[in-house]
Amino acid sequence: MLFKSKTRTLLPVEVVQIRDVTPHMRRITVIGDGLHTMEVTLPGQWVKMFVPSGTSDPSGSESKIGRAYTIRDFDRAAGRMDIDLALHGEEGPASKWAVHARLGEQIELAGPRGGYEIDMSARRYTLIGDATALPAIASILQCLPESIDAEAFIEVADTHEEQVLKSHARLRVHWLHSGRRLPGTSGLMEALVREADFDTLGHRVWLAGESSMVRAVRDHLLGERGLPRSAVRAAGYWKLGVADHRERD
């Protein structure tokens, strides 16, 4: 089962901490009574976060807009959750809110949904993604056992966006730098994957990020490398030029 909670109930939470993990990755910590009963059971689960949209609804009240974000860390006993948001300026209402979020601010969450169930019988894991997939990659890596060889291919803007990733697995991390282009849109990931070693025996691949990049890498792994469809989990988290795009396998 990918998730236990199917609730659509909106849970009010309060922003209690804001810190920049890197120049373009902001960690928002929230607390709320509803988090004490939330079931977060798998790495990579996500919640929908409802924040002010900057516009008014027909009644004159400020409307809210919902966007999906991966749970970076969760403490059910404390009713506390960390959510990492990749900052892309102020072009969209959610990005604008993240830039101007305030301590004590009240927002709402719905979920959790999704998540990734780790195959403990696998011998090797490869995790591939751009900056938007980094919170999920970090969450999955923390849950991998010592018996697994793991590699992570991650595209961020530059060296300042790299993070220390922890895992019990034997881990190698490959960082790509997109420079002035948005991570996931440079073509660097597709080129690196074509040069990488991908065996088919006992290998699992998790892949997420910009939709066109994800599709190109997935098609290469399935069509040219011959990985079985069941071994590859792919998700387009966003699409260049499209608001609130989030597709799933």
d(CA 74, CA 92): 26
Residue 170 near residue 150 (C-beta atoms within 8 A): yes
Angle formed by the axes of helices 211-219 and 188-195, nearest 10°: 20
**Structure tokens of 240?**
């260049």
pLDDT at 77: 97
Please report, in tens digits, the pLDDT of each residue of the chain (249 residues total).
Answer: 233 444 468 999 999 999 999 999 999 999 999 999 999 999 999 999 999 887 777 776 778 889 999 999 999 999 999 999 988 766 677 888 989 999 999 999 999 999 999 999 999 999 999 999 999 999 999 999 999 999 999 999 999 999 999 999 999 999 999 999 999 999 999 999 999 988 888 999 999 999 999 999 999 999 999 999 999 999 999 888 666 555 554
**Structure tokens of 117?**
């169930």
Domains, the chain: 11-114 (2.40.30.10), 124-238 (3.40.50.80)
pLDDT at 242: 65
3 state SS of 170: strand
What global pTM score does this model have? 0.89
Q: How many other C-beta atoms can be found within 10 angstroms of the C-beta atom of residue 3? A: 16
